[in-house]
Structure 1
Amino acid sequence: MPLMAQSSSEADFLSVNKIFTNHMVLQRDQPIHIWGKGLPGATVRVELTARRDVSVNLAASLSDAAASRQVSAVARVKGDSTWSVYLPAQSASTMPHDVKIISDKKNILISNVLLGDIWICIGQSNMEWPMQREMYYREAMATANQPLLRFYNPTYAGKNVFNQYFSDSVLQMMQPEKFFAPTSWQVSDSNSFRTMSAVAYYYGKSIIENTQVPIGLINLSIAGAPLETFIGVDALKSDERFAAKAIEPWLTNPAIPVWVKERGNQNLRAGTNHPFKPGHVYEAGLKPLFPLAIKGMINYQGESNAQELERVWEYGALTQLMVQNFRGRFQQPMLPYFFVQLSSIDSVKYKGQYWHLFRDEQRKIMERVSYSGMAVCTDYGLKDNVHPTNKKMVGERLARWALNKEYGLSIVPSGPLPLRAEYANGQLQITFNHAIDGLATADGKPLRGFSLDGIHEVSARIQKGRLQIGKAVSSGAEMIVIDCEKQPEYIYYDWKPYTDGNLVNREQLPTSTFKIKVHLKKQQ
């Protein structure tokens, strides 16, 4: 009898890495790397075979012809007991496959495997937020059975332990190799999707509905996590701007966000390992995945890095370092990185007084990081709650970037993003990207949200004009016009923590918070 994906104690001389389990997705269009351990000197054969007798989708397989043949690879176990093989790249397929790993008389069977795209999901509580607490959870139950959508959704040590010390057993689980609990891939259904990240679920579901490409989601989000925990310590040390973040003890390190250290000190009476420690989730969850081929990364994070000005101003460069780190370690220099901009919140009950500055720094990440995109969600923020429960809108807006940039769909990926502000003859004109089909107000009322000083709102209007993006020129494009007697230094939009700006494009997607310099318009 073949062993199932997680080998038993009788097969200690043959094992496969824990990421490989039944119901998983293997990355399409890239060589398929599979690795494990065995008896030194032994031969290991890995076979990938389509199961022609069954399909998880009523539609034809995306690549039935390619799926009809078996592919295999052979390796010899090294002296350190490790083995590794690469199978040839395969096209996407909705047809279930079996992976069989054979060495002497022992074998491991991994079944119901699809070929599609793997997205790694990181972030803090708004990414972790589960479907069972999401606004549209009850409605979503009806369509939760998504055979092309697969989750790898481990829980982690110390989850939901606040304002108290970790127990001895939790402290022992803080070691990176024990931090994430053992789990296996699951097919999306009304049971498995309950604890899955709601943002990630809606993201994957939207891609499948539009492309029929199988999607695998690996969820490594951690409530409260600062960005630093997702970045390797070596990467931090290698950058003189952020080397101080790697200095121990991190619990008293002035380069770490204050709130993050407060939480760490509440939990730790011994040791330094903690979900918020710089590099911890990187070591525990991301580093073990680097040999795996993936499609890209999505992230919803920032609240823990937005409470002090120094942390706000560094966030764009810190994100750039993180993405460079991922791309180097995954050996994918064009690895897509799509992220969610913080929403909006009042600063009366929450320390969100810098959120507008932070959102603008997030907007600039798209200029720093190639192959990136940002979902704007300021219109769904709550005045006194950092956890808006409408994650459906967030996940679907995030998916727009992927559908446009990675799946080639003719879909508007974003709300208006500012291109340029120019002043001439008593008028300030602001042009936007992602507004080629026109601008509007979300509520049909006069425009709100514009300011010349970041404090006092000014009247603005939508007007047709001439827009140039690269070499393309549109004479009928719409822009924002503001009457003012003299040239201002900057133009601001939604420049406060809790926003009420109402500028959208024809897709009803909101405009990002921004502060941009005003230029004197060259006379034609």
Structure 2
Amino acid sequence: MILTINRSSLLIALIVMLTGALQAKVRLPHLISDGMVLQRDQPIRMWGWADAGEKVTVRFSGQKKETKATEGGEWEVSFPSMKEGGPYTVQMNGENSIILEDVYIGDVWACSGQSNMELTMARVQPMFPWEFEQEARPAIRYFDVPDAYDFSHLQMDTPGGEWIQVDKEHISQFSAVAYFFAKRLNEKYDVPIGLINASVGGSPIQSWIRKEELKRFPEDFAEVEKFRNPDLIKQIEKQDRERISTWQKAVWQKDKGYAQPAAPWSSSDVEPDDWGEMERLTLLPLKDDRAVNGVYWFRKEFELDDPQVSSLSAKLLMGTMIDSDSTYVNGQLVGSTGYRYPPRRYNVPAGVLRQGKNVLAVRLISERGQGGFVEEKPYQLEVGDQVIDLKCDWHYQLGASMPALPGQTFVRWKPLGLYQAMMAPVQQFPVKGVIWYQGESNTGNPSIYAEQMKALINGWRKAWDCKDLPFLYVQLPNFMEVSESPQESNWAVLREKQRTVAKDVSHTGMAVAIDAGEANDIHPLDKKTIGDRLALLAFALAYGEKDGPFSGPSLERGKVQEEVIELTFETAGSRLETSDGRAPKGFAVAGEDGDFHWADARIEGEKVILSSPMVKSPKTARYAWADNPERANLVNTEGLPASPFEISVE
């Protein structure tokens, strides 16, 4: 018994000693790590954690700073500001030693928003293949903050992440918008650029607003209090998992495509004799004007003449599908995607294709709404020098009809959570400015977006303790079908709210993007145009350049002159023009009744004159007021587009 007690006591003592030793180790936030970029021309702050009272020594650029950890185990030191340069080494000593290599001094930009800021270079590779062949650019660094949320506590460290540089191995991981933005800055100023990206696809603005400012929005703040309960979150997520799992299991069990295990519909031997025909890939047909959800099978035969084709690999482009798919070539699975947005780019290994008849089969699952294939996307097979068009002449069959899958509760999108877990840790790190691309998820209620955005900017500037921190953002691009007549549009309303912020809040800049979107894709590929326009704004607002223009024509004022409206624009020394050399389009006017009609427009110097035979006494003018304002063509000499707007005139 005594021996047992003595051994137990020794074991406990050993555990205490080891635990103490582990706690005593100097620990750093993930942002302070190998390859980081520190902000030039500002005091350089380094911080971390250690055992209470532990002495910490930091050596950097020939200087040494010493401090002790507080009772809470926190420590920090500050070095004088430095000019751009690198690479440097940082050495930290406490009970342990840490050496950080490859550290640069330059400009750091925080990047945030939703999926269009997340969208990586890998996604846009087909549009910009040359970017992937360039030599390494060690002066451009990127840190992606892992997704996380916290409704209860303000986090001081990101949940993970590492700094990477532009090279062939890592460029595909960069945010495309952030990459093109940084590339333009680096080329112009020849300083290292660090990018810290805290973005989450689908996130509304309220998930990124600080707690102090969020209190101005009672409904959102009530949600915060609700989701501070971890048991509620576990319950909701458990119910979601069970509901989705039950639905998916039912799909598999009911799918007639798997009714005969020896002859699944993915097999190249199945004959689609009683299948329906689809002349051209498009959305699934409706039944009594309603979508039929469940699983569908599609089949297409195509011929290959090359006797050596079996030795060749190929690239299969299957556009974009709603919602998920599994795609087979000659019975072999070549690719699968679990949700609607990513482009289907599948590699077909050598040995799969064959001379003569080949069979392409797609198992498509429609969860809710009208599923199918998104038109005007690439559907083709690239093998050798041959490109085979796959858009036409398909057969299809319903494998299983299902009730619509109820939507998931995305807890991570709830107010405050993303700010506290992902952005608050970034705000410990000094930055040059912020770039922001968000808004799509707030088009359901755009009326308060300007106030939400002002609250976000104000709160972030306070957190960084910089009242004039440059805040550059992207106005929503063109999206969805083009309307042939003037329309009401929540997307247009939100763009107007974004324009209001640029007018009302100092040191902000808005990149107009109504010519850089895609009608059939909420994630347009042309992120270079967006990054370049953000960089132009940075030239003026962050770097003090004077020789503009840095954005397109900006509406200054409007007035009524008899039966016409006269709009005056600020052109920053440029001129008003149209992108196609024709008369200005995309303008509409309304009278007291509020009914809008297309307006005839002409340019006179820095003014645009509007009139309409349908409106004798105009009261309101709009420009590019639509989901997809394809008609809009007002630009400056440099080709930068004017922002959409609405103005009441007298």
* Same topology, TM > 0.5: yes
1:444 corresponds to 2:581: yes
Q: How far apart, CA to CA, are the structure 2 residues paired with 1:429 and 1:265?
A: 58
Tell me the amino acid that sits aligned with residue 31 of structure 1: P
* Deviations 1:249-277, CA, capped at 9 Å, x for gaps: 599xxxxxxxxxx9998569899983212
Counterpart of 2:600? 459
Q: Distance in 1 between matches of 2:53 and 2:575?
A: 66
Determine whether 1:138 maps to 2:116. Answer: no
Distance 2:239 2:617 in 1: 50
Corresponding residue of 2:92: 101
SS at match of 1:460: strand
1:344 paired residue number:
478
Partner residue, 2:465: 331
Cα distance in 2 between the residues matched to 1:190 and 1:385: 27
1:316 to 450, 454, 468: 450
Partners of 2:206 and 2:220 within 8 A in 1: no
Unaligned runs of 5+ in 2: 1-20, 230-235, 245-407
| Cα gap change, 1:192 to 1:91, in 2 (>3 Å) | same
Question: Aligned partners of 2:490 and 2:529: how far apart in 1?
Answer: 24
Q: Which moved more, 1:216-225 or 1:422-431?
A: 422-431
Contact 1:157 1:179 in 2 (8 A): no
Q: SS in structure 2 opposite 1:420?
A: strand
State whether residues 136 and 392 of structure 1, in contact with CA within 8 Å, keep that contact through their aligned partners in structure 2: no
Q: How does 1:92-171 map to 2 (within 5 A)?
A: 92-93=84-85, 95-103=86-94, 106-134=96-124, 135-143=126-134, 145-156=136-147
Q: 2:68, 2:603 → 1: CA distance?
A: 67
**Stretch of structure 1 that moved more, 208-217 or 182-191:** 182-191
- In the TM superposition, what whole-angstrom CA distance separates every residue of 1:393-434 from its partner, at most 9, and x where no partner exists? 111111111012111232322111111112235442211123
Task: Give the structure with higher Rg (CA).
Answer: 2
Answer yes or no: is the 8 Å Cα contact 1:413–1:434 preserved in 2.
no
Trace 1:3-18 onto structure 2 (pairs within 5 A). Answer: 12-18=24-30
Q: 1:452-503: CA deviations, max 9, x gaps?
A: 1273211111112xxxxxxxxxxxxx22122468552221101111112000
Matches within 5 A, 1:178-197: 182-197=160-175
Distance 1:372 1:181, change over 3 A: same
Secondary structure in 2 matching 1:194: helix
> Tell me, what secondary structure is at the counterpart of 2:454?
helix
Alpha-carbon separation, structure 2, partners of 1:240 and 1:15: 38
Aligned amino acid, residue 127 of structure 1:
M
Counterpart in the other structure of 1:45: 57
Does the 8 A contact of 1:231 with 1:282 survive in 2?
yes
CA contact (8 A) 1:126 1:301 kept: yes
Matched, 1:26 2:38: yes
- Tell me if structure 1 keeps the 8 A contact 2:472–2:537: yes
Contact 2:29 2:157 survives alignment (8 Å):
no
Query: For the aligned residues, what is the CA RMSD?
Result: 3.2
Is the 1:435–1:505 contact (alpha carbons within 8 Å) kept by the matching residues of 2? no
Aligned mates of 2:472, 2:198 — CA distance in 1: 15
Deviation at 1:175, TM superposition (A): 9.9
SS where residue 33 of structure 1 aligns?
strand
Give the structure 1 partner of residue 628 of structure 2: 498
Aligned runs of 1:259-274 on 2, under 5 Å? Answer: 266=240, 274=411
Matched residues in 2 for 1:447 and 1:205: separation? 34
The Cα shift of 1:286 comes to 1.3
TM superposition score normalised by structure 2: 0.64
Q: 1:78 maps to what in 2?
A: 70
Which amino acid counterpart does residue 130 of structure 1 have in structure 2? Answer: T
* Residues 303/353 of structure 1: CA separation in 2 closer, same or farther (3 Å cut): same
Could you tell me which of 174, 199, 214 is aligned with 1:236? 214
* Structure 2 contact 141–193 (Cα < 8 Å) conserved: yes
| Deviation, structure 1 residue 181 | 5.0
d(CA) in 1 for partners of 2:238, 2:202? 11
**Map of 2:403 onto structure 1:** none
The amino acid across from 1:32 in the alignment is I
Paired residues, number: 448
Contact 1:99 1:110 in 2 (8 A): yes
Shift of 1:369: 2.0
| Correspondence for 1:88 among 77, 80, 95 | 80
Residues 31, 218 of structure 1: CA spacing in aligned structure 2 closer, same or farther, 3 A cutoff? same
% identity of equivalent residues: 31
Deviations, residues 301-330 of structure 1 (Å, cap 9, x unaligned): 1111002xxx20100000111111111111
Equivalent position of 2:608 in the other structure = 480
- The answer to whether the 8 A contact 1:335-1:371 is kept is yes
CA deviation vs aligned residue, 1:110-136 (integer Å, no higher than 9, x gap): 111111111111111111111011153
CA displacement 1:92-147 (0-9 Å, x = unmatched): 22x2111111226x321111111111111111111111101115331211336222
How far apart are the structure 2 equivalents of 1:399 and 1:370? 18
In structure 1, give the amino acid aligned to 2:83: S
Equivalent residue of 1:118, what SS?
A: strand
Query: Are the equivalent residues in 2 in contact too, given 1:117–1:214 (CA < 8 A)?
Result: yes
Q: What SS is found at the alignment partner of 2:101?
A: strand
Q: Which amino acid aligns with 1:26?
A: L
Q: Which residue of 1 aligns with 2:649?
A: 518
How far apart are residue 378 of structure 1 and its match? 0.4
- The AA in structure 1 aligned to 2:598 is E
Note closer, same or farther for the CA distance 1:493–1:321 as it changes in structure 2 (3 Å cut): same
Q: Distance in 2 between matches of 1:180 and 1:273?
A: 21
Distance in 2 of aligned mates of 1:247 and 1:455 = 43
How far 1:178 moved relative to its partner? 12
- Counterpart of 2:181 in structure 1 is 203
In the TM superposition, residue 196 of structure 1 has moved relative to its aligned partner by: 1.5
Partners of 2:635 and 2:642 within 8 A in 1: yes
Q: Structure 1-normalised TM-score?
A: 0.78
* SS class of match (1:147): strand
Query: 1:113, 1:219 → 2: CA distance?
Result: 18
CA distance in 1, matches of 2:481, 2:219: 29
Question: In 2 relative to 1, CA 416–274 (structure 1 residues): closer, same or farther, beyond 3 Å?
Answer: same
Shift of 1:32: 1.1
Q: How far off is 1:362 after superposition? A: 0.9
Q: How much does 1:12 deviate?
A: 4.8
Equivalent residue, structure 2, for 1:387: 523
